[in-house]
Structure 1
């Protein structure tokens, strides 16, 4: 039966050949029973005469009848509704290139001008040999005419601005290159989809290359990362729905298109927002198929010490980390940590000892200080743990006692060596309290600093001048001077946790911050 169908199609094309004796791309479309909807649309808009011009040259991506039916269903209409679209002529000319491009000449990532000037076409050629124009796959290639070539495609192209256009038009060159390399262009140019894309800047990708100590130009090469791994990294930056900046809440854990891991969102009291460790630097760049937010870092779907806490039911610890705005620091896939993780019962016992409840514990003004007293800035597994003092990111030492099991101060390690990609977690049965910044430090003077984590400078609230000292986790003064405009430069500091100490005639202020 298929054999007779092909004979019929060929005969139909022969019978509709132009009077000049030449076959045009319009003849091919008009003679194809599977493109009658396209034929009707072209005749209605008077474009049949254009495509019948034997002296011109065209490539036509020709949607099948099923493609028009699918578009009609998506728009809640029928073919007559499609034919009544006010921009139908623009839609149709978006399927046409003013040159003959056989499938063999299509290169992956080519961005070409259509006859429509509303948008460009994004071409994909996969490693398996499949060819796409935007989201539409070529299902019948190289139907050759004397004035060009027709490629039958399985979807109607719409000249809408997509999240891919936002990336291209706003200079996200590395991201665009990565999307092309991972062959994700067809998915992200789907005009009727809805996405949120967290888009790393070019500098973020350059920083990633520096971290991995590879040349930037080799960052997306198969020797550095397989196409499958690259695709997983990229779709980890994408949500299957539209999330505006106003919708982001502190501590939200949301699903990305990657099934490997969730995204952890942070909104600080200062208004700064983060996705995992990366700060959102620009928001709500809108397109027809979603919204783009700009990031200063690349996200990796690695399991972190935060994931260990969440996945193993440490709900109070996770809530405390969120409340203390430490999620960006501890989800950093490029840092390594040891976390001594108190159980939920341990936090309950602390609340009882203080005559309060968990809300009271979470309201402690030095909560971040307490939590950082549970974190060491390097991976320390049980087989290399030795008795004695160990400096934490708080700046104070914990004491390891191996004489009867493993004790950290007065807490017992009940489970050791729960591994994450950015460190190791040891479960303990008590909350550790810093000796130099105890739980009764509620009356101490703290100052809010931001951004935190910081890269180049930190700022603090107030309008007074101070002399300042920055102290590292070993208690060493690594920077000092006089503040200027409530700002202190930190770009020369190594990554890690620091204490800022401010002093003037009116008193002293302190705060912890993380440099990355």
Structure 2
């Protein structure tokens, strides 16, 4: 985008390096602006017949700006033409200028603009070392520094967004450099769209917290709009601590520069209550803020509350204001109400649409639960082609939706407790379907994953608290497979041993074939660990490359290849009359599947083996995770040696000794 400008500005930089001496050729910033088509060209939209005026054109028309460029030192922040084309308002030229010269390294915290009242421009360091002026990023390679004809040092920084000051609806409204409290008092007269702040302003006055919003320094204020108080009792819950939880002291956060999901300490952070605030952006571009009350009290419940930012980055005298669609910290809606509130145009719009398209019975089922946890796929999670056909099948979709519902209040801490020393297994509303949680890391580094129906999802937003449970936003739809049998083996931590054994024997090579349908009985790692205890020598050789033939033969018994992949429910029906014979890679597998207390049991070769995870769906088959391998003693023969359990060997030795002693005594 900037290739042509880079060449021109490279020559400009070389020229500017020669222009600092008193007798050097003089270059003017105005000339550079005029000559750079990326900064001065007027464009016209064919569709709307709309003319977009570039920054240079506005600069030419402003006598104060022209005088500054001619006579004074200055810094000027120049938006690109592209930034102007995106901008819908009336750009204020003097808000882009300051009457002192600042290189990138000299920009510190804030600088006063040349606009009337000198409202500050805030300087922040964002991700990847970028420098931001309010919400606009300085394009680092395009800054220019020179001296004008009056010998005054001047600096131009190119930015990717138009700087927008706080403005009034009417030119008769007196605008001074106002703090956050003054901002709220005159909000009705400001250009905030149709958003009003009367309810929150009233609660601030009742709680006598005006001084918090008047405090000097640089802070971030999160202000809920009146629409967020449509629940009749919500405003009464806004007390002094809740108000404190909406302020991030001594830190100015603009959305483009914010570190996503990086908790910031709010003013409600003390011995009795601890609340952090963080920002995050969804892939659709919408920006959200969330409070996390991780130490609460009788009035302030622990948990996360989400709020969409409906108008961001409003600069004021003592920081920045973001208007949010509802108050933080307040947990006063049920899970059902949360889904409805976020269903129209919010973070869970697609999830709510699918629930309603399935007939609404799922929503009623959620509403009937006194305690509930929802694994809610994000809007982006639904953008995969494999879901399209399933959505049209109402029964199938209902089963999948019910797989996302748990009859329990399950936050991350409770999952962590269940997860001690093993992967947590949790039943869902969908009969005989379980979810498998795994928690890694601590604090801000915590990562929670959940597996259901063959899909492994990561929790994007955890512990969104409601009065009757929790909502966790996840990045995939559970129960809709998106990977092959091989892909599932590669990524699932419970099947790593089977995957490893199949790799060195090249048994896995076939499992990516999407033209076949596999039913794979996969021993989980814990089952192989038990085998290691019972048959240590044999287990060792089964996982050695030199003995790959034996491990390959063993795995072949576990893999059923047919025109159809068999679910556990189908295998139970097939087993009602007799043992089922299934065609495997090598020969056949004779099994009988029974259901006991809501769990499946596999009867094979006079052994009873629990099915730990049934029906892990893949794009080319189904995996059933079982508690032990389908292993016979004759399988454990390597180079003519029989590897029996150590206990059997001890018994044989004892018998041999007894026979020898008896012969000796006779």
Which structure carries more relative contact order (alpha carbon 8 Å, separation 6+)?
Answer: 1
Which structure has the bigger radius of gyration?
2
Instruction: Determine if the TM-score, normalized by the shorter chain, exceeds 0.5.
Output: no
Tell me the TM-score normalized by structure 2. 0.31
TM-score normalized by the length of structure 1: 0.38
Which has a greater percent of helix? 2
